[in-house]
Structure 1
Amino acid sequence: MDSGTSNVDNTHFSVSVRRNRRLLKNHESLVALFQVATDILVAASLLFIFTWSKLESFPPAYRVLTVITICSLWFIYSSRGVYRQSSGYVRGCLRLSSAWLMLILLLTFIGFITKTSEIFSREILLTWAASILVVQNLSFCLVSYLSKKYKESFGHHLPVMIIGTGSVAQHLVESLNKNRWLPDKVIGCVKSLDKDQTTTVGNVNVLGGLENIRELIKEHDIRRIYIALPMEASKQIEGVNFDLLDENVDVIWAPDIFALNLLNHSVREVAGIPLISLNESPLTSSKVSMIMKGIMDRSIAAIALIMLSPLMLWVAYKVKQSSPGPVFFKQDRHGWDGKVIKVWKFRSMKLHEETNGEVKQATKEDPRITDIGRLIRRTSIDELPQLINVLQGTMSLVGPRPHAVAHNNYYSDKINAYLARHRIKPGITGLAQINGYRGETETIDKMEKRVEYDLNYINNWSLGLDVKILIKTPMSLLSKDVY
């Protein structure tokens, strides 16, 4: 197949003509749109029914609440991917429930800051919120089931071929053929290099090479082609696309961005140009998520400080009695985006001087640790003053644990992407901690594993994940590896 300069040059005119067209399109299915419309209708209708049955009217405040709910539901559900059709029933219901909880928290926050929550009936709102949760999940399962049956009975498969035999091609084969919602059916793959000896990719065969792709398209009645070549083959990709323009097939490029070291990657569009975020903080990529995380952090931190105040007063008294020095220990640590913050802790050691500014981690049977210090370190009670950091906004309840500045300087040159853990607010607890990586990290391997969990948390961050980590944290405190 010829993918020379002349062919490439001929494409410049057509590309410039189409520059004003959007390159990222919303491929929303009719099923997803129907479900969104149904949930909006259900939310508005049930609010009207419950309000009318109790008040025998529908006051203006409830009308405003209906409008805010409709707008918020559309935005939150779309951003959270509630109706992503590759989801199963359980995952879809969990995603739907978490999105509705986010919406309720948002409405509660709006009512709090506008001081209008008192004008609404608690009975109406609680009944409405609980009913919507049940009805929306039932509706989702019903529509998903009917859609599945319809596709199985009346759906038509779309013959698909993949150009490439690498990891992306294999991932596409497995994902497309397992996804019951998509019509795509991978018939086989095409190798891009003559020296490629691969015969199968996943559970499909390699049908041939690029030199006979036209014959393969006709032989297998191919309607769609995915280009899954490595990024260094960009010239070849351009040539393949040009040569397939007259074959009346859909051509889709699946860039192998996963060969890069990604952090919270995403795709969006600016002025018709697709932008792929390779490294982005989840707190800057979604303002709504940042606000919701902040509300949850400060609300829980304030409640926790009030409830735990007797315990904290007792600990403060015991720390003061244990040895001369302040009750609290404040240490410079790196926070969000690498900014230095003061992290609060109950002092668990006797006052001592660090040699040459070196920060030595506490070890088992460390003579510097006091009796009360040993207890509060083992139970992580020494971390409770960091609830003050959460109220200040310098820390979160959940996130990568902040390390001392000296530790960061030491490990940053020894562990790949170590400092990338600062792309989100540090937390009192985190994914690494509930998986057993708490306390001293006396080897590089242990610190690497902790960083691996921290980056995994950043890549998969959600409010639901924060809640799961908070629930699992008390069990992790039983670990015997904390000094």
Structure 2
Amino acid sequence: MSLVISTLLILAHTKSGSIDFHYRIAAILTLLISVPAYSATHAYYKRHHYINGLLRLFLGWTFTLTCLSSISFVTKSSELFSREVVITWALIGYAIQIPPYLLLHFLSRLYHERNSHHYNSLIIGSDGVALKLADSFIQQNYFPLVGVVSASPFEDTENSPLIVGELTQLRALITEHNIRRLYLALSLQDAQRIEALYIDLLDLNVDVVWIPDLECMLLLNHSVSEVGGRPAIHLNESPLTSHPTAALSKALMERSLSLAAIVCLSPILILIALAVKLSSPGPILFRQQRHGWNGKVIQVLKFRSMKVHDDKHVQQASKNDSRVTAVGRFIRRTSLDELPQLFNVLYGDMALVGPRPHAVAHNDYYTGKIHAYMARHRIKPGITGLAQISGCRGETDTIEKMQRRVEIDLDYINNWSLWLDIKIIIKTPFTLISKDIY
């Protein structure tokens, strides 16, 4: 998009010898409108073929131009723009997007193919479909396949070297072989078994993909992917593994913003550090173990807001908590105590946007009490998130409050996109001061 905007400014300068204010505004609007426009048309979706992708790119560009035209019509500013510049830009703008798109599309597919080979996988099946799928995996080298787990006795295939165990051994096999993806090669008649397996596997941090035998069914306008020549229904998959190139873009964007924020906010960080040090004896930073992506335990950094105390039994801060210092109460209320987590983002343990990480003790308490609680760890934890801008901040002193937070976290994971992250980042400053933060 930078090439498109540069082209507009060059054409405007060539026409009049200068870049007038209204062209600069048009450039800014183009950038802002293009993000949701291209996102809505899925122009850069990696599974599209080149022709389909170029068509979606054209639709995104057309949508952007339509929005710009509508704005100029409403504001009665269309007469300020040269028709020659606008028409030339509209035609050239799409043409110059094609070479970068083709290059990015090629690199995206290449990255996805290489990245896919890092996920050990198992196939769970009860008939020949599982073994046929395993054979196709081996021939195409699609994923590193450990073997097939028997869901029930196989007919005439019990001695197959591909069978590595039974369902009763599934958890042990996942741990032993560091399995990151499971394929359920089960028929529609096994719907109850599929549901039971799916629920049971939610806490294991593995991607679950159902590959049913649908050869006898007529599918109309269906939405499935293809794995080993068979339709695959993705039941439980992390956005970071299902969209690796988008996840890479998220990581690059967030680390860049974190580095810029650390540099810009360094005077504030120093002042807070001095205030914390003078408020009470103890370290400036508070380190707490919390669960990160895929359940990995990480150390989350915060400015210390409490007096040094025995924290063997983790207890959430509450209203009029005597452990909170005067300085601590202010930085907690304004969320300034969270700023050191910018270093967690820079290091790669956290993201700017994602479900807030909870203390390990809290996770141990809520697991089993809240349905699919640990599924919120299928994406990196964030400094801010959809739950935080939706009013679910502060103390979660009831199961219902935590349940609501988890529901919003899962909603974020199901609908994750870079555009959603950008909206959350923009809205976060307006929700920093809360009466519910103690």
Superposition TM-score tier, normalisation by shorter sequence = 0.5 to 0.7
Equivalent pair of 2:43/2:54 in contact (CA under 8 Å): no
Match for residue 271 of structure 1? Answer: 228
Match for residue 386 of structure 1? Answer: 341
With the length of structure 1 as denominator, give the TM-score of the two structures: 0.50
Matches of 1:272 and 1:241, distance apart in 2: 11
Match for residue 352 of structure 2? Answer: 397
Q: 1:382 to 1:133 in 2, by over 3 A?
A: farther
Match for residue 59 of structure 1? Answer: none
Letter in 2 for 1:344: L
Q: 1:91 to 1:394 in 2, by over 3 A?
A: farther
Match for residue 77 of structure 1? Answer: 44
Matches of 1:132 and 1:466, distance apart in 2: 29
Q: Deviations over 1:116-163 (max 9, x none)?
A: xxxxxxxxxxx99xx679966xxxxxxxxxxxxxxxxxxxxxxxxxxx
Deviation, 1:273, is 1.1
Equivalent pair of 1:397/1:428 in contact (CA under 8 Å): yes
Matches of 2:396 and 2:266, distance apart in 1: 31
SS at match of 1:377: helix
With the length of structure 2 as denominator, give the TM-score of the two structures: 0.55
SS at match of 2:265: helix
Equivalent pair of 2:335/2:433 in contact (CA under 8 Å): no
Percent identity of equivalent pairs: 55
Aligned counterpart for 1:284 among listed residues 228, 241, 249 = 241
Aligned counterpart for 1:448 among listed residues 403, 409, 413 = 403
Equivalent pair of 1:401/1:428 in contact (CA under 8 Å): yes
Q: 1:322 to 1:401 in 2, by over 3 A?
A: same
Q: Which has the larger radius of gyration?
A: 1
Match for residue 280 of structure 2? Answer: 323
Aligned counterpart for 2:369 among listed residues 398, 414, 431 = 414
Match for residue 337 of structure 1? Answer: 294
Equivalent pair of 2:43/2:60 in contact (CA under 8 Å): no
Matches of 1:315 and 1:332, distance apart in 2: 22
Aligned pair 1:307/2:274, yes or no?
Answer: no
Matches of 2:269 and 2:92, distance apart in 1: 40
Match for residue 219 of structure 2? Answer: 252
Q: 1:233 to 1:303 in 2, by over 3 A?
A: closer
SS at match of 1:341: strand
Q: 1:269 to 1:464 in 2, by over 3 A?
A: same
Q: Deviations over 1:15-47 (max 9, x none)?
A: xxxxxxxxxxxxxxxxxxxxxxxx9xx97x969
SS at match of 2:420: helix
Matches of 1:294 and 1:393, distance apart in 2: 8
Aligned counterpart for 1:372 among listed residues 316, 322, 327 = 327
Match for residue 204 of structure 1? Answer: none
Q: Deviations over 1:348-398 (max 9, x none)?
A: 0000003xx321000011000000000000000000000000000000000
Deviation, 1:252, is 2.4
Matches of 1:364 and 1:410, distance apart in 2: 22
Deviation, 1:422, is 0.4
Matches of 1:232 and 1:442, distance apart in 2: 43
Unaligned stretches of 5+ residues in structure 2? 16-38, 68-84, 95-186, 192-211
Matches of 2:433 and 2:363, distance apart in 1: 27
Matches of 2:373 and 2:324, distance apart in 1: 29
Superposed, which structure 2 residues align to 1:35-434 within 5 Å? 77-79=44-46, 93=63, 231-232=188-189, 251-252=218-219, 267-354=224-311, 357-434=312-389
Matches of 2:258 and 2:225, distance apart in 1: 34
Q: 1:312 to 1:46 in 2, by over 3 A?
A: closer
Matches of 1:133 and 1:409, distance apart in 2: 58
Matches of 1:401 and 1:376, distance apart in 2: 18
RMSD: 4.3
SS at match of 1:413: coil
Equivalent pair of 1:293/1:463 in contact (CA under 8 Å): yes
Deviation, 1:277, is 1.3
Equivalent pair of 1:83/1:92 in contact (CA under 8 Å): no
Matches of 2:226 and 2:393, distance apart in 1: 40
- Equivalences, count: 275
Deviation, 1:267, is 3.4
Equivalent pair of 1:348/1:374 in contact (CA under 8 Å): yes
Aligned counterpart for 1:460 among listed residues 401, 415, 419 = 415
Matches of 2:382 and 2:91, distance apart in 1: 30
Aligned pair 1:478/2:433, yes or no?
Answer: yes
Letter in 2 for 1:450: R
Matches of 1:80 and 1:343, distance apart in 2: 36
